[in-house]
């Protein structure tokens, strides 16, 4: 059973924008909000050259990396074709206007998450 960690309120995330949270290990996480108030969470690192996705442009269910304009799906963290690669995505839960993330996933490093996905 998952333990959920409160992160912020939905209103703390700008519409078509992101909020970045730091972790003790594994790199920062970007929490995105689209025009429909759907919330997504990704490792704040583009799979191409490591650009900060939290500084990208959100449109629909995608974000454009600010470095080279790669388009990353907010629900999966994967680049859209013809580009290839993925960044870690995190499960998000909304409760009474609050954004919660899976505490165990937040504690994992990206390498540990990739190993768990392929096991």
In CATH, what number is assigned to the domain containing residue 78? 2.102.10.10
Q: How many structural domains does the chain have?
A: 1
Average pLDDT in the 55-74 region?
96
Position 11 scores a pLDDT of: 96
Q: Which domain holds residue 102?
A: 4-118
Position 25 scores a pLDDT of: 84
* Percent of the chain clearing pLDDT 70 (strictly above): 90
Res 116 pLDDT > 70: no
The answer to whether 89 and 41 have CB atoms below 8 angstroms apart is yes
Range picked from 23-27, 29-33, 48-52 for highest mean pLDDT = 29-33
């Amino acid at each position: 059973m998952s333990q959920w960690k409160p992160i912020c309120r939905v209103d703390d995330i700008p519409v078509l924008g992101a909020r970045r949270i730091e972790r003790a290990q594994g790199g920062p996480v970007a929490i995105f909000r689209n025009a429909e108030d759907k919330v997504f969470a990704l490792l704040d690192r583009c799979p191409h050259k490591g650009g900060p996705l939290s500084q990208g442009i959100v449109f629909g269910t995608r974000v454009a990396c600010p470095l080279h304009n790669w388009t990353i799906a907010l629900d999966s963290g994967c680049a859209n074709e013809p580009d290839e690669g993925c960044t870690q995505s995190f499960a998000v839960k909304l409760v009474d206007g609050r954004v919660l993330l899976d505490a165990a996933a937040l504690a994992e490093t990206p390498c540990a998450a990739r190993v768990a996905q392929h096991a």
